[in-house]
Structure 1
């Protein structure tokens, strides 16, 4: 996947809007973060903590949680090795959590 693929998928979800900068675009629903580009190979996705563990167990090579994110509802997705289905699943979780 690429950051453009991530953006297209995020924008396909109802009420998701692109914000951020050209270098670091982000997508929000109701002004709440869904996904943000960190760099060309990494995006940060906001997910419920309980679901984060499931994502990490199901796709151990696709996702990670650096120490700075351990206390937050976030996971990094590594686009160079994450299958699209995994990234889409995480974005869907973020969208569900944030649209409420």
Structure 2
């Protein structure tokens, strides 16, 4: 999956807008972060803590939580290894969590 494909999935969610620097875009709903591109292969996605473990267990090749994010509502999506459906699921979780 490419960063552009991940961005298209995010922008397909109602109310999601792209912001940020062209090299490091981010997607927001109601001015709340849904996802941010960290580099060409890694998308940071906000997910509810209560859903995070299930997401990681279902897609261990696609997602990870580095130590610096363990206490936060975040996962890294590894775009080179992630199926579009897995990334879509994570983005939908983030979108539902961040809507006001």
| TM tier, smaller | over 0.9
Aligned to 2:95: 95
Aligned to 1:35: 35
- Could you tell me how far apart the structure 1 residues matched to 2:8 and 2:55 are? 21
Q: Is 1:60–2:54 an aligned residue pair?
A: no
Number of matched pairs: 100
Unaligned runs of 5+ in 1: none
- Could you tell me how far apart the structure 2 residues matched to 1:14 and 1:50 are? 23
Aligned to 1:76: 76
Aligned to 2:17: 17
Superposed structure 1 runs of 4+ greater than 3 Å apart: none
Q: Let me know the Cα RMSD of the aligned residues.
A: 0.6
Unaligned runs of 5+ in 2: none
SS in 2 for 1:57: helix
- The Cα of 1:9 is off from its aligned counterpart by 1.0
TM-score by length of 1: 0.98
